[in-house]
């Protein structure tokens, strides 16, 4: 019997606001922390990106022509509320209102992400970002306002992009934390405050609408570097502390017993109150969203004794000799993708939604179509792994969103690390004409979507 993908399966792509919009000082937008980051030798600044603020209809047409029926974008907090905790900016809200209507006119389902690391500068400077509960309350008010504005037309929502990164050394960079000692207490407080902010918004959405919301992780499969028992233990602990600890809250309303025991034994103050637990008790998730790019490998022998499990990979990450890597050192591991889909569903029983997947490569345009067969192969292998999880392992999957259909600056601001199926003619320091030029993979993915994933050739 032929195994068919669900008829309402979502095919599309994801982006962040600062990597697409530009218009950094237009339409009443306030400053975010990204507006203070200068260009470097290998990165651009964030003032223009690919100028979707002025040109998004062209990019939506490219999506529609490819057959996409889902687009996950981010609302810029500082565009709709310049200070983050002050008056809302109607011109900024109108921009997203128009974007949503244009998407729906093209039969593309909008999916909103509320936060993708770009803290309003005022909140970072005044409160040190999510280290302060004031920012938690400000975020919940912002999220509630967006639900009130767009909940009638937007069915799918996530609060925080890659929320488990707030449990890693990345937390201080992405939470608007500008000053301090980066203590263990502060790490756990930031992570907890972000979860509390997620819960506040998710609970409001479920009370007010029939929309769907889920937590999102940056999920990498973690392998032990060897069969050394401590390597195996460290790999399991990384998954418990960074992933399952949050999944337990998203789905069951409580933190991991192992993590809470660790916090108690080590005297860590994570600012967790009984009132916070009452908020978690109301929490539920309609799906589990995640990004997947690569797997990682951990060697316990090069991790210093006493290191937090949250930081194991900073010291103990090793290259996996059995996998190919991209030029950026990221392993290519579609089987890890399948395993995450399957083991997570087995544990939590909630539909899965991979909303970022892709490979970054340096590319140049010489007047001829870019032959990005490596990108086709990457997506083909990962879509097949997803189908194996669905048909062989029984995992319900809502959709498959690649990262950035259209070239955008990478998370570090490097325009030369390209993920897109459409080339954008700009470099890090030369904006050129920013013309959109489909690559070979664009036509391939159009065929995949037209066949609803049946034709991956």
Residues classed as catalytic: 162, 356
3-class DSSP string for 381-409: HHHHHHHHHHHCCCCCECEEEEECCECCC
- Using alpha carbons, select from 296, 416, 286, 404 the residue that is nearest to residue 356: 404
Which secondary-structure segment (H or E) carries 442?
Answer: helix 440-450
Partner residues linked to 223 by β-bridges: 297
- Residues 229, 231, 232, 238: is their CA dihedral positive or negative? positive
| DSSP string covering 46-64 | SSSTT-HHHHHHHHHHHHH
Please report, for residues 151, 224, 237, 385, the alpha-carbon distance to residue 305 in angstroms, rounded to integers and kept in the order given: 48, 17, 14, 37
Q: Output phi, psi for 324, to 5 deg.
A: -75, 155
3-state secondary structure of 314: helix
* Nearest one of 40, 39, 45 to 19, comparing CA atoms: 45
Residue 89's CB: how many other CB atoms inside 10 A? 19
Distance between CA atoms of residues 130 and 148, nearest Å: 23
Ranges assigned E (strand) in 22-142: 70-74, 109-115
């Amino acid at each position: 019997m032929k195994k068919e993908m669900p008829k309402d399966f979502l095919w599309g792509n994801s982006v962040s606001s600062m990597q697409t919009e530009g218009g950094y000082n237009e339409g009443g937008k306030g400053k975010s922390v990204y507006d203070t980051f200068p260009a470097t030798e290998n990165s651009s600044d964030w003032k223009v990106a690919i100028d979707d603020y002025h040109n998004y209809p062209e990019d939506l047409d490219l999506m529609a022509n490819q057959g996409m029926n889902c687009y996950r974008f981010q609302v810029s907090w500082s565009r709709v509320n310049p200070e983050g905790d002050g008056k809302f900016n109607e011109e900024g809200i109108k921009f997203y209102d128009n974007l949503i209507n244009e998407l729906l006119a093209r039969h593309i389902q909008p999916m909103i992400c509320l936060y993708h690391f770009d803290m309003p500068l005022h909140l970072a400077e005044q409160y040190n970002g999510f280290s302060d509960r004031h920012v938690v309350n400000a975020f919940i008010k912002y999220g509630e306002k967006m639900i009130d504005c767009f909940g009638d037309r937007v069915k799918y929502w996530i609060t925080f992009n890659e929320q488990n990164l707030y449990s890693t050394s990345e937390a201080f960079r992405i939470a608007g934390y500008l000053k301090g000692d980066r203590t263990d207490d502060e790490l756990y407080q930031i992570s907890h405050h972000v979860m509390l902010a997620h819960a506040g918004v998710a609970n409001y959405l479920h009370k007010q609408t029939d929309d769907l919301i889920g937590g999102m992780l940056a999920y990498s499969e973690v392998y032990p570097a060897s069969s050394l028992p401590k390597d195996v233990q460290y790999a399991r602990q990384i998954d418990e502390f960074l992933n399952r600890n949050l999944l337990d809250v998203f789905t069951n309303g409580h933190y991991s017993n192992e993590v809470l025991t660790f916090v108690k034994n080590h005297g860590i103050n994570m600012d967790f109150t009984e009132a916070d637990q009452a908020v978690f008790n109301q929490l539920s998730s309609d799906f589990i969203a995640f990004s997947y790019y690569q797997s990682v490998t951990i060697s316990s022998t090069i991790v210093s004794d006493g290191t937090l499990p949250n930081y194991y990979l900073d010291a103990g990450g090793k290259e996996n000799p059995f996998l190919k890597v991209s030029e950026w050192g990221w392993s290519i591991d579609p089987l890890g993708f399948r395993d995450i889909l399957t083991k997570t569903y087995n544990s939590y029983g909630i539909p899965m939604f991979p909303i970022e997947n892709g490979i970054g490569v340096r590319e140049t345009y010489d007047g001829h179509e870019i032959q990005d067969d490596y990108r086709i192969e990457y997506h083909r292998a990962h879509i097949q792994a997803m189908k194996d999880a669905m048909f062989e392992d029984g995992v319900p999957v809502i959709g498959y969103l690649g990262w950035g259909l259209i070239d955008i600056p990478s998370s570090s601001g490097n325009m030369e690390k390209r993920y897109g199926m459409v080339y954008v003619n700009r470099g890090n320091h030369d904006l050129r004409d920013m013309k959109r030029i489909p690559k070979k993979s664009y036509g391939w993915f159009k065929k995949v979507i037209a066949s609803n994933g049946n034709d991956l050739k």
